[in-house]
Amino acid sequence: MSIFLNIVFWSVFLFVAIFDARYKIIPNTVPIILGISGFFLLGQPMYSLYGAFIGGGILLIMALFNQDWVGGGDVKILLGLGIAFGLGVMWILWIACLLALAFTLIMRRKSMAFAPFLFLSALGVQLIAVFAV
């Protein structure tokens, strides 16, 4: 069952990263799928709850201050990642922000999709967690 959930989680997340990079929009069903599959992958309800509040809450606060910084889809994606990774969502957010900042400075862009950076950082955190054990 875990292999199936991993396949669902990562393929849906890859889809949304590509879709967001191309169209700059995140379909509403994707964070729900990420959250449900991630909840069963983590298997610890309290950690999922903490991660959802911290991950989604940080970006929600940023979005409330300025809509140009963060879109609503990014908030929902990070909420789903918080459910899947628990408190590890903080690492995902920090790495994604650093990657996005570096990309912005190198490419000299003012706006870009954030989901691809979330995907890359979540994949990196997952790989580190798997190979560190």
Its domain, for residue 7, covers 2-132
Q: Mean pLDDT, to the nearest integer, of 33-45?
A: 88
Q: Mean pLDDT, to the nearest integer, of 36-49?
A: 89
pLDDT at 8 over 80: yes
Cα separation of 105 and 126, whole Å?
26
Q: Please report, rounded to a whole number, the percentage of residues in the chain having pLDDT higher than 90.
A: 59
pLDDT at 1 over 70: no
Question: Do the beta carbons of residue 110 and residue 68 sit within 8 Å?
Answer: no
What pLDDT is stored for residue 9 in this prediction? 94
Q: In this predicted model, what pLDDT tens digit does every residue of 51-74 receive, in sequence order?
A: 999 988 888 898 888 877 788 889
Matching residue, tokens 């920090």: 94
Rounded to two decimals, what is the model's pTM?
Answer: 0.92
**Total tally of structural domains belonging to the chain:** 1
What pLDDT is stored for residue 31 in this prediction? 87
Q: In this predicted model, what pLDDT tens digit does every residue of 114-126 receive, in sequence order?
A: 999 999 999 999 9
What pLDDT is stored for residue 7 in this prediction? 92
Number of Cβ atoms within 10 Å of the Cβ of 8: 17
112: left (phi over 0), alpha (psi -120 to 50) or beta: beta
Name the nearest CA neighbour of 87 among 117, 128, 44.
Answer: 44
